[in-house]
Chain A
Amino acid sequence: MIEAHALTKHFDSFVAVQNITFTVQPGEVLALLGPNGAGKTTTVRMLTSLLRPTSGWARVAGYDIVEEPDQVRASVGVLTENHGLYLRMRGYEYLDFFGELYGLDPVTRSRRARALAARFGLEEALNRRLGEYSKGMRQKLSLVRAMLHNPRVLLLDEPTSAMDPQSTRLVRDMIKHLRGQERTIVLCTHNLAEAEELADRIAIIRRGQIIAQGTPLELKARLLGPPLLEIRLARTIEALPDTIADLVELDSYGHNWLRYRTPDPMTTNPQVLRRLAEHGAAVVTLSEVPQSLEQVYLRVIGSEHDVPAPSQTLTA
């Protein structure tokens, strides 16, 4: 479990992170989204006890990040922003080194290293020097390193960056598997599709503050409004928008289609269909327009929104 309360970090006069509060339960994935320089990596480094918060507190796997940093680091598997491998080492030596640092006996660390490497298609590459690895291979090896000691908490910074689609699928499946094993996972990513697929909850960070937090559905409902529905007709009718203007809030329309929003589709949709039928409209399809996390993200991060004060954080 991770509990963070009002975490703040100043670097001299620069405020990198301010009042970050969230909780991640075992078996839950929290995605931290935000532009470059938003404070995601600083937050992760505080949770790993690499940086000391200026104020606020956090507990990771039950350990205080300030008072018990060694226990925090022993409990956490971290995939860092820069994987920075020792290029003259071979893959198995690298994993053996970190396995030893995390207190694993030789047999266990060898077994786990080979098992995890096999899972990511790296088994044959373990005998090669890390300087010969591609970017994607290095990323996968770093992920193996983060998981080697079976940590209860995983902090993953861009886990699928530089990976091909097949490897990306492997990693995402692994994250889902780990979630099923009651691990606590924080995921920093720019990949909105990945966040939508994997995250139970999302926290959007901008300029060091969490400005929106909730499940993907909650954030969409809160920030994008009621569901957007589209009706397509077989042919145009006169004054199409006027036919249902009194029933729904129109979003947009064309010759033979229109989009509208309604907070209560169960009630509104039959009324709209009846009205259109009364006017001789032949409805071809009535469907919900998918609203993406990208729309949420851009709505929140876009320049027309000022960063609200912490009390005004959009929490669903």
Chain B
Amino acid sequence: MSTPTSVSSIEQRAGVEKRGLVRSVRWNLSRAWIVTRRELVDMLRDWRITAPVLLLSLITPGLANWGAERLLAWIARYGATLVADRIAPFLLLAVGFFPASFSLIIALESFVGEKERRSLEPLLSSPLTDTQVYIGKTLAATMPPTIGSLLAMVVYVVGQSLAGSPMLAPSMLVQIALLNIMHALVMVAGAVIVSSQVTSVRAANLLASFIIVPIALLLQTEAFIMFWEHYGALWWMLVGLVVVYVVLVRMGVRSFNREDLLGGEIDEINLVQIAKQLWRLVLARREDGVQRSPWQWYRDEVLGAVTRTRPAMALVAVAMLAAFLIGRYYGTVFGVPPEAFVLDDWYARFHSLLIDTGLSGLTGILLVLVQNVRVLLIGTVLAVFSVGVLVVLILMLPIVVIGYVVAQMATAGMAPVVVLAALVPHSLFEVPAAVLAGGLAVRLGASVLAPPPGKRLGEGWLEALADTIRLWWLLILPLLIAAAVVEVYVTPALVSIATSGG
């Protein structure tokens, strides 16, 4: 053997020389392509993979053609050609879906299958970065379902053409092809994440339902939209699928961990251990045992958590402001005419309504508090399953209504001071609480996309959850309690003063 490789060659091999963005992307893709190429050649040599994909891609369209001919002929007997026209695009969509769903097994075993065959460690010991390994495997897993799907659609369309059936418009063909490709890409992206996180191929296959079922439901939704000919909505669904794909790939790259891949042999969740760890994080005691004063602890762990949540809070605040403006806009465009409002003694009637519905006194405080807590907790739970998106929507909805009502109050001729008196007092406490709770929920949901640097996905998520629990007890609940008290006692009094003119 010749003398060892030089340092500069090692730096080049490891890809750590400085590059611009474009060169960096090209470099990463070229490195990932080495893995992709190997995987594709390996797949082509395995008849157990190629034969079923080919057969399914050829047989399914044939069966679809045969079924479609008979179905359309039967429908035509009853003169329901409209139904026939609307079903044709869906059949093409379904034909492209089956090969993609079958090929998912390739993506599901991309990492964990290689781990079980013990060939993963040499690959992970190479100078490839996490991103290059992950993208290489993902690209390889993407080819069979995408090609299978396109092949099936081509065979179907050719079959339809040979049978003399009316052809779909080119724009529709393109739309359906893109939808099927995006279905395949999203399923593969999800499957590769599963493969990189589980410890056995069996576990990966069991989790496949969580990938196929949502896409199948999406397919049914698209079929429904096609049936009612709202094809424009399908382009928005395509955009949504692209966003989901990018999110999933990013999530997969960020959560990819060589240590976890090589490590666990058994899927195990130790709930007691997790609970103990969570409790430690909530209490936020220093690991070096140094004692802090209550104020120091509050500054570090409460205000510090608020600081960590600032970007998410800013997002929620902007969304709520946008919601208010949207509501106000629709209040002016679709508002109730001013003559429809009866303002005589409106406050007395409103006050009476508050008492009748129990929104007064201690009961009223509890009702308002429970409602606010319930909405924010539900939003937090939904944020976990929607990478934070649903909590933002949940917080926007009531603000849209408030914006609409404010516009209506202005239309009805109410004095601005009355509007301010009705909104501001309790909002001083409620809005910060909602923004903080919403921000924490967004951070909790989005932590699966981007764990903090140096931390694993589970660790980052637990830290976000610990911050959420701590701030709920020490900031959000006190704010909501204050908001409820003000909303029941102070706001009505201020509105009454404003209404009576002093």
Contacts and interface: CB of A to CB of B under 8 A. Distances in A.
Interface string B97-127: 0000000000000000000011111111111
Interface stretch (B202-210, B224-232, B255-263, B299-307): B255-263
B125 A73 contact: yes
A103 B38 contact: no
Nearest to B456: A52
Interface in B4-21: 4-5, 7, 9-16
Q: Which of A13, A76, A84 has the most B CB atoms < 10 Å from its CB?
A: A84
B118 A98 contact: no
B217 interface: no
A182 B120 CA distance: 30
Given A84-B117, A88-B46, A102 B1 contact: no
Interface in B218-260: 258-259
A50 B125 contact: yes
A74 B10 contact: yes
B301 to A, nearest CB: 24
A102 B42 CA distance: 20
B171 interface: no
Nearest to B124: A50
Given A80-B122, A86-B119, A73 B263 contact: no
A220 interface: no
B15 A70 contact: yes
Contacts of B3: 150, 181
Interface residues of B, number: 39
B5 A70 contact: no
Contacts of A11: 263
A74 B45 contact: no
Contact of B127 (A50, A89, A103): A103
B497 interface: no
Q: Which of B2, B3, B16, B125 has the most A CB atoms < 10 Å from its CB?
A: B125
Contacts of A61: 10
Contact of B125 (A12, A80, A147): A80
B359 to A, nearest CB: 50
A75 B10 contact: yes
B500 interface: no
A52 B259 contact: yes
A70 B127 contact: yes
A74 B124 CA distance: 11
Size bracket of the A interface: 35 or more
Contact of B128 (A50, A101, A142): A101
Interface in B275-299: none
Summarize A's interface: helix, strand, loop or mixed.
loop
B129 interface: yes
A150 B122 contact: no
A145 interface: yes
B34 interface: yes
A255 interface: no
Contacts of A78: 122, 125
B275 to A, nearest CB: 14
A178 interface: yes
B357 interface: no
Contacts of B38: 86, 89, 97
A150 B1 contact: yes
Contacts of B42: 86, 88-89
A151 B5 contact: yes
Contacts of B46: 88
A131 B306 CA distance: 57
A82 B5 CA distance: 26
Nearest to B11: A71
A114 interface: no
A152 B5 contact: yes
Nearest to B43: A88
Contacts of B273: 12-13
A59 to B, nearest CB: 14
A80 B127 contact: no
A84 B7 CA distance: 29
Q: Which of B120, B127, B258 has the most A CB atoms < 10 Å from its CB?
A: B127
A183 interface: yes
A222 interface: no
Given A11-B263, A84-B121, A74 B4 contact: no
A97 B34 contact: yes
B38 to A, nearest CB: 5
B261 to A, nearest CB: 9
A245 interface: no
Contacts of A147: 1
A213 interface: no
A152 B338 CA distance: 85
B4 A103 contact: no
B13 A103 contact: yes
Contact of B4 (A13, A98, A151): A151
A298 to B, nearest CB: 30
A181 B15 CA distance: 26
A5 interface: no
Q: Which of A70, A88, A142, A149 has the most B CB atoms < 10 Å from its CB?
A: A70
A183 B123 CA distance: 22
A75 B311 CA distance: 40
A218 interface: no
B122 A181 contact: no
A147 B1 CA distance: 9
A294 interface: no
Contacts of A73: 14, 125-127
Nearest to A152: B4
A190 interface: no
A150 B119 contact: no
B127 A82 contact: no
A114 to B, nearest CB: 13
B119 A85 contact: yes
Nearest to A88: B45
B4 A183 contact: yes
A160 interface: no
Q: Which of B11, B129, B270 has the most A CB atoms < 10 Å from its CB?
A: B11
B32 to A, nearest CB: 11
28 contacts: A48-B125, A50-B259, A52-B259, A68-B14, A70-B14, A70-B16, A71-B11, A71-B14, A73-B127, A75-B5, A78-B122, A80-B125, A82-B118, A83-B118, A84-B117, A84-B121, A86-B119, A101-B31, A101-B126, A101-B127, A102-B13, A102-B126, A103-B13, A149-B13, A150-B4, A150-B5, A181-B1, A181-B4
Given A75-B10, A88-B45, A149-B5, 16 more contacts: A11-B263, A50-B121, A50-B124, A70-B14, A70-B16, A70-B127, A71-B10, A71-B127, A74-B10, A76-B125, A97-B38, A147-B1, A150-B1, A150-B2, A150-B3, A152-B5
The 5 closest A-B pairs by CB, nearest first: A84-B118, A84-B119, A103-B13, A82-B118, A70-B14
Interface of B: 1-5, 7, 9-16, 31, 34, 38, 42, 45-46, 117-129, 258-259, 262-263, 270, 273
